[in-house]
Copies of this chain bind each other. A is one copy, B any other.
């Protein structure tokens, strides 16, 4: 696949992206509903130009096992709510203290830190409400809630954020790096694919294949982020870059250097694509997406 083919593929996902945005718009509280400041803040961050990678993954995983988009909408939207809440809390002065996100003032700068804390809390909470309320099969709903709580909580994303903070300034160490990245970014990306597959009714075999795929692209996604933080400009990224290095964060380039990090990312992408090979044509968009994600490293 050439770069322009990949860009074409990414643009071709526009309909999917719009369908997700429409659903988020329908399922979030209206901006003028009191207390309006809370709902304006939730919507400000939710519609700040996110790429919707996680919900797209969720829908594509559901399609890969023959499920309809409709079945994957609850976990897809829930995961985007969780992703957005994590960015809001991450940017807070007490956390990464980042004034910009996606080229716009971060939530606590646009509103204030108290509103940002509450908007994050409300997005995390509504994520579970979306699954409970909009999943037709209660057995599936219950399973999705557990997948999502594990991926987002102490054993997943939040645990990774804590480990990340604790590791600042430590000697670069591959094991610690994997511990952090598998949780901080990997867990939610993995959950996006797994919940999509589960919502689509995947049997154990295909679910395992998709799980391998998801763990691999979760890793390349974070490697790409780490590399871009060192090589891209703030304008390109729409957020402050170079902060990881300055803060002594544990990153792939810090442990392996940029070249070796890139090589690893490409090797892992191949593993991801091979894992879903048996799923055939319905998994083709997932393979393209894997290529698109790793492309960000080069």
Task: Using CB atoms and an 8 Å cutoff, list the residues of chain A in contact with chain B.
Answer: 29, 34-35, 37-39, 42, 85, 89, 92-95, 108, 112-115, 117-118, 120-122, 124-126, 128-129, 131-133, 135, 138-139, 141-143, 145-146, 148-150, 152-155, 158-159, 161-163, 165-166, 179
Contacts and interface: CB of A to CB of B under 8 A. Distances in A.
Given A159-B35, A179-B34, A142 B146 contact: no
A115 B143 CA distance: 29
Given A122-B154, A142-B142, 12 more contacts: A34-B179, A37-B166, A89-B117, A89-B121, A92-B94, A117-B117, A120-B121, A121-B121, A122-B153, A128-B128, A128-B149, A138-B142
B153 A125 contact: yes
Contacts of A163: 34-35
Given A94-B94, A94-B117, A38 B158 contact: yes
B149 A141 contact: no
B122 A95 contact: no
A126 B153 contact: yes
B141 A38 contact: no
Contact of A124 (B37, B92, B121, B148): B121
B132 A166 contact: no
B158 A146 contact: no
Closest 9 CB pairs of A and B: A129-B149, A132-B145, A125-B153, A94-B113, A38-B162, A132-B146, A138-B142, A35-B162, A35-B163
Contact of A159 (B89, B122, B129): B122
A115 B162 contact: yes
